[in-house]
Structure 1
Amino acid sequence: MSEANEILEILKKAEKKNAQPSRTKKTEILKSKKKLTKREQQILDIEFSIRMPDNYTLVNTPELLERLVKYYKAYKKMYQGDAFVYLDTETYGLNNWRDSLISISIGFESEQYFNIPMRKFLHNMSKDVETLPFDVVSNALRPLLEADYMIVMANGKFDIHVLKNWANIDITFNIHWDIMIMGGLLNENKPKGLKEWYNSYTLPWLIEQGKMSRDELSRPTFKFGSMFDKIPYDSIPHSIANYYACHDVFMTHWVFRYQKFIIENPSFGLYRVYKLFREVEMPLVAIFATAERRGVELDSKFLKDIIGRVLQEKLDELKKDIFSVLGRTITLTKSRTRQRQGIKFKEEYEIVEEFNLASPAHLAIKLYVEHEILEPEMVYVKELKRKVPTQSTSKKVLTRNKNVLVTVNDKAHKIVDYILEYRGLSKLIDAFCNKLPNDTVEGIIHCSYNQMVRTGRVSCSAPNLQQIPSKFDLIRYAFRASAGRLLVSADFSQQELRWLAIFSQEQTLIDIFKLDLDMHSRVTCQIHGFDYDMFEMIRSYKGESEKETSNKIEEINAKYYGSQELLFAMTYLNSKEKGANASTVGGSSQTIEYLAGLFELLRKKTKSVVFGNNYAEFKLLSYR
């Protein structure tokens, strides 16, 4: 018998002896007089029905941990080039800077899986089960994991932070394979989570290979999330916690094996995808983890007390302007149930309330009924199979009507534009001045940079620092560079499209960049048939002052008044937007503003995620 197998046999015997408490009057579960909740009953049902696989081992004593360490070392010698280690952690939540570590799970190519709890079990059935202190586990595993460069994980960046923050184990540059990243590369249109990949791809493959029974589909393997929801691992019976923790690394193991089989199979021709995975995506894991750990310093006091106050003053001014036009109160018609001579009936009555700008219902009454600033739009309702008048206050509807003027005391007000600005500023204050300081840990924001999002770009979350608007760049001053460093704001100019031109060698794309044209505008014009020079002049007609804007409008009229290009654009506008006049061939300031808004909207659509379809059409148009 090999050294690793001998250690494993000893480990199994010791685990059974230490992890299973003897059934005495002291440890036996007495039938509670209190009726169990549905959740508690589900836990008990799982506990008594679950069959622990022989290769799922609970490591909860110093002796078992010592033998696991010996097994780990022997395993690395025995398997050498195939000595992959499957690693996972369980925590109290998803914030790895605040939610502490509960347990560490380790799996091996030998199909042995171990769970090491580091918190006392709180469930009545497991309170007497021994667990290991943090420092004991950390000191034992640190030299092994930090020297191991064949670690396989699911969402490895999360566990990198957990192990570093709570166990002082640094495996930032040790991850060999992240199955979620590979999952995103192999199929970007499907969820790339561990359980999704296991259920959809790996389990059917294992059943087909005869390595798993079809009975696996009916076992409680997949029910942990739905049954226990946010219940921590230390609050359920230790046998259930051990089962699910070990099963996570079991799934990681076999999803990895399935992905490796697919990506390395020459018949699938995925060599370039594999190259992208190894040379770009996996190295980025360590880079993003390092950036997240360093974080960004935020001056919360400055953000709340200075920037927040300035923005709130601006918000109050906008609110005052809106109230000056729409009024501070609103009259609402409500109904109540009354009873007379034993007969119940509905009675309507009027009530005067303070006008709530955040209420779409209040706003609709003000704009459509009380002041008749907007007209209801006929919208087709599928259920009714006909068009009905609607009083929408959505951003799309308001944006379309933002130039509507309302005159009060001989003064014109762009009331809809005021409302749009109020909404944007209100959300900004709430999202950044009020909530962002709550996301700091000792003054630092540790956001998450997400790879393999469907756009092909990197996204940011918890919190999203990519959504800081340039219009109110005052908020950017709340971020601070650490001592000896600078904050730099930079952006690539149409980076993806430039790479597209380089790799595809599409001459039309190359010519656009050589002529220093705007790619998105050029493609938009090609698709919709606009003149490029006119499109760009109108789209960028606004100057830094009213005089400069007026001069640009005069330039547009001098060049395009009465032209077929402008007539075509106005005809297009009339077909898309309410309020434009197709016979207008010369541009008033309002006409130019309408067109500029339309052009910008079309350009944004071209620039969006679905630009692939537009560029395909663009290429076809070029060939024609």
Structure 2
Amino acid sequence: MRTLTHVVAGQPCTINFPERHADLIAFETFLARGDKVIAVDTETTGLDVYTPRHRLRLVQFGTSTEAWVLRADLFAPAIMRALRQPRSLLVHNAAYDLLVLNRHLGVTIEEIGPRTFDTRILAHLLDPRTESEGGIGLGLKPLSAVYVDPEAPDTQNGLTAVFRGLGLTKATGWAGIPIDHETYVRYAGLDVIYAHRLFGEIGPMVRDIGLDHLSKFEHHLQTLLAILQRRGMRLDVPYVQRLKGELITEAEQFAAVAARYGVANVNSTAQVAEALLAMGEQLHEHTPSGAPKVDKNVLLPLADLTLQWERIESRTPNPLADAVVRSKRAQKWAESYAQAFLDLKDADDRLHPFIGGLQARTARMSVSRPPLQQLPSGDWTIRRAFIADPGQAIIAADYQAVEMRVLAALSGDETMIKAIADGVDLHSFTAERVFGPDFTKQHRKIAKAVGFGKVYGGGAATITRQTGADLESVKSALAAYDATFPGIKRYSRRLMNRAEYGRKEVVTPSGRHLPLDRDRLYAATNYVVQSTSRDLLAQAIVDLFDAGLGEHLLLPVHDELIAQAPRDEAAEVIREIGRVMESNFYGVRIASDPEVYGPSWGHGYGASA
């Protein structure tokens, strides 16, 4: 057996690396000491757990002063026995490791998820900000440097240097580094030592500020989301292969259109900007270096398109802007979706997107690898790739304007609450109040943008860009909106005042503390509404599992829960899912739209084949 030593916060620690079965006697003695909580971690060949090439290399167990790093290829039975002992486990970013241990060792999420603590969840509850936002971040090493040992080394940087020395990259190094390399073993062992010590520091802090209830909820939710990720969704592989070819062709065709206007490379900011200026377009936004901006937010309005790729109908589309955005989107979709689906699918043609239960400052859920939450809300092309299992139908339910309903409930605005109770279309109702009974389609778009601006923090300039309306008209619409729904303005002002003269944070109805940036106090309403809407969806997922409906669920995306059920039961199942999702929030009904989509997810968005 090899033993490495390391000093953590002034205290000697040992990292043990068994090399033969006889060395496991000491490991069994370590387990028999009876520690109530043992930290666990894994080292694998990459992030994509369900791809055929993914392998488990090491499993580590540790306390605050001792780590055991076990090779999975040699000691799998001992690892499995250790995991199944009746004690609490401690993991940093447990969502990943639960899936790894389930797939490669057969130790199921259901077995160990309920007794696993995740220091990443605890850290998010204390401060959800990333390092770029002024927080510590949620990585184990930055957190350890603050809470455990200021001298905590970033062993990952050391590993990266080793990878380079071996002729490997960051991507290939995890699979290619010798399994007994000292830096690799030390990195693995320190992770569990740091995690154990971090838990001892931040666990009591979460209790002290009264967030035990949220901790229990988020840990339970994480287990349920891991079960959904393990389940995955079936891919129509021939469709994906065909779609990839069509997208590449589309990208080339629109690139050829752009070339006719002098743009040889649609990704060249300088070429696109120069050509647009030559066509008489005015580019008002600039980069820090002074160059004109021609990103998606600039080009889409010039192409008379919203962020959801719907016609604004405020101008004649600029053909170059239209060609550039369409070429770049087709290329991105070919790479980020079609090719990614083929690369990430498992041996049974199922895709297992990563479901992040606690993402961003507001704790919203996300779906990544691939990023399905970035799809335009009305597009069926990519969604068509996901199909029901044999004999099943895809079903789904999403919330009806959940952010607007949450905003109405929290602000107590009587006008908006009554409009919701009366079942009217909120955006048409707002347009009528703002522009009068003869409001136009364009007026409704402005009213909708103003309403969502209140939720997501968009100001007059953003709404102008989204709708094509002139700035003065948008400012007038914002003023009329405030007059129509005075409770919303009062609520937003109250949140900002509390943050300005008190702690720079808002606290959501669930008790979540969300820090505010000193120069962005106006984001207070956005944070509370977005976070609360997320909590309602998270609670619905828990409630659906409690009701025995969890076996149908496949994926949460934004406010939508995608599921499947036997074709002859689909309508009944989705009605029940919709019923469970609904609730009464501060006197406002949180309603759902249950629907049977059919053979694919895309069939709910207009796909016909």
Please give the TM-score of this superposition, normalised by the length of structure 1: 0.59
Amino acid across the alignment from 1:399: L
Distance 1:113 1:503, change over 3 A: farther
Tell whether the 8 Å contact from 1:146 to 1:170 is kept in structure 2 after alignment.
Answer: no
Within the alignment, does 1:250 sit opposite 2:193 as a pair? yes
Distance in 2 of aligned mates of 1:581 and 1:538: 9
Within the alignment, does 1:63 sit opposite 2:63 as a pair? no
Deviation at 1:228, TM superposition (A): 3.5
Aligned partner of 2:79 in structure 1 is: 141
Aligned partner of 1:438 in structure 2 is: 343
Aligned partner of 1:367 in structure 2 is: 276
After superposition, residues 230-249 of structure 1 pair within 5 angstroms as 230=170, 231-232=173-174, 234-235=177-178, 238-249=181-192
Aligned partner of 1:569 in structure 2 is: none
Within the alignment, does 1:93 sit opposite 2:52 as a pair? no
Structure 2: 5+ residue stretches without partners: 130-134, 164-169, 306-315, 447-459, 482-491, 493-513, 529-609
Q: Match of 2:107, SS?
A: coil
Distance 1:534 1:178, change over 3 A: farther
Deviation at 1:580, TM superposition (A): 8.7
Aligned partner of 2:599 in structure 1 is: none
Deviation at 1:451, TM superposition (A): 2.1
Aligned partner of 1:336 in structure 2 is: none
Deviation at 1:304, TM superposition (A): 1.9
Tell whether the 8 Å contact from 2:141 to 2:154 is kept in structure 1 after alignment.
Answer: no
Bigger shift: residues 221-230 or 168-177: 221-230
Aligned partner of 1:494 in structure 2 is: 401
Aligned partner of 2:206 in structure 1 is: 263
Deviation at 1:88, TM superposition (A): 0.8
After superposition, residues 35-46 of structure 1 pair within 5 angstroms as none
Deviation at 1:281, TM superposition (A): 0.6
Deviation at 1:479, TM superposition (A): 1.3
Distance in 2 of aligned mates of 1:222 and 1:237: 16
Deviation at 1:413, TM superposition (A): 7.3
Distance in 2 of aligned mates of 1:359 and 1:618: 35
Aligned partner of 2:357 in structure 1 is: 451
Deviation at 1:167, TM superposition (A): 2.5
Aligned residue among 144, 162, 177 for 1:198:
144
Deviation at 1:246, TM superposition (A): 2.0
Distance in 1 of aligned mates of 2:147 and 2:380: 46
Tell whether the 8 Å contact from 2:232 to 2:352 is kept in structure 1 after alignment.
Answer: yes
Aligned partner of 1:75 in structure 2 is: 33
Structure 1: 5+ residue stretches without partners: 1-17, 22-45, 119-132, 205-216, 331-353, 405-411, 543-571, 586-590, 600-605, 620-624
Distance in 1 of aligned mates of 2:527 and 2:180: 61
After superposition, residues 165-314 of structure 1 pair within 5 angstroms as 165-174=103-112, 175-189=115-129, 190=135, 191-203=137-149, 217=151, 224-225=158-159, 227-228=161-162, 230=170, 231-232=173-174, 234-235=177-178, 238-265=181-208, 270-271=209-210, 273-278=211-216, 280-305=217-242, 307-308=243-244
Amino acid across the alignment from 2:326: E
Distance in 2 of aligned mates of 1:114 and 1:254: 16
Within the alignment, does 1:402 sit opposite 2:303 as a pair? yes
Within the alignment, does 1:428 sit opposite 2:309 as a pair? no
Amino acid across the alignment from 2:88: M
Q: Match of 2:203, SS?
A: helix
Q: Match of 1:458, SS?
A: strand
Aligned CA RMSD, in angstroms, stands at 4.7
1:259-303 Cα offsets, whole Å, 9 max, x none, are 1221233xxxx22x210110x210112111111111111122222
After superposition, residues 113-128 of structure 1 pair within 5 angstroms as 113-118=67-72
Tell whether the 8 Å contact from 2:122 to 2:206 is kept in structure 1 after alignment.
Answer: no
Q: Match of 1:86, SS?
A: strand
Aligned partner of 2:587 in structure 1 is: none
Distance in 2 of aligned mates of 1:476 and 1:104: 36
Amino acid across the alignment from 1:467: Q
Larger Rg: 1
Aligned partner of 1:28 in structure 2 is: none
Aligned partner of 1:104 in structure 2 is: 59
Distance in 1 of aligned mates of 2:212 and 2:335: 43
1:55-81 Cα offsets, whole Å, 9 max, x none, are 432222212214423542x333xx5xx
Deviation at 1:391, TM superposition (A): 5.3
Aligned residue among 149, 152, 155 for 2:93:
155
Distance in 1 of aligned mates of 2:468 and 2:391: 56
Tell whether the 8 Å contact from 1:181 to 1:451 is kept in structure 2 after alignment.
Answer: no
Q: Match of 1:393, SS?
A: coil
Q: How many residues align?
A: 441
Distance 1:439 1:574, change over 3 A: closer
Q: Match of 2:389, SS?
A: coil
Tell whether the 8 Å contact from 1:573 to 1:580 is kept in structure 2 after alignment.
Answer: no
Deviation at 1:183, TM superposition (A): 0.7
After superposition, residues 541-620 of structure 1 pair within 5 angstroms as 613=522, 616=525
Distance 1:20 1:55, change over 3 A: closer
Distance in 1 of aligned mates of 2:188 and 2:181: 10
Deviation at 1:250, TM superposition (A): 0.8
Aligned residue among 375, 382, 387 for 1:475:
382
Tell whether the 8 Å contact from 2:302 to 2:317 is kept in structure 1 after alignment.
Answer: no
Distance 1:463 1:63, change over 3 A: same
Tell whether the 8 Å contact from 2:3 to 2:16 is kept in structure 1 after alignment.
Answer: no
Deviation at 1:157, TM superposition (A): 1.6
Q: Match of 1:115, SS?
A: strand
Tell whether the 8 Å contact from 1:297 to 1:480 is kept in structure 2 after alignment.
Answer: yes
Tell whether the 8 Å contact from 1:90 to 1:104 is kept in structure 2 after alignment.
Answer: yes
Distance in 2 of aligned mates of 1:475 and 1:75: 53
Distance 1:115 1:358, change over 3 A: closer
Distance 1:373 1:113, change over 3 A: same
1:204-234 Cα offsets, whole Å, 9 max, x none, are 6xxxxxxxxxxxx286867535544644485
Tell whether the 8 Å contact from 2:287 to 2:293 is kept in structure 1 after alignment.
Answer: no
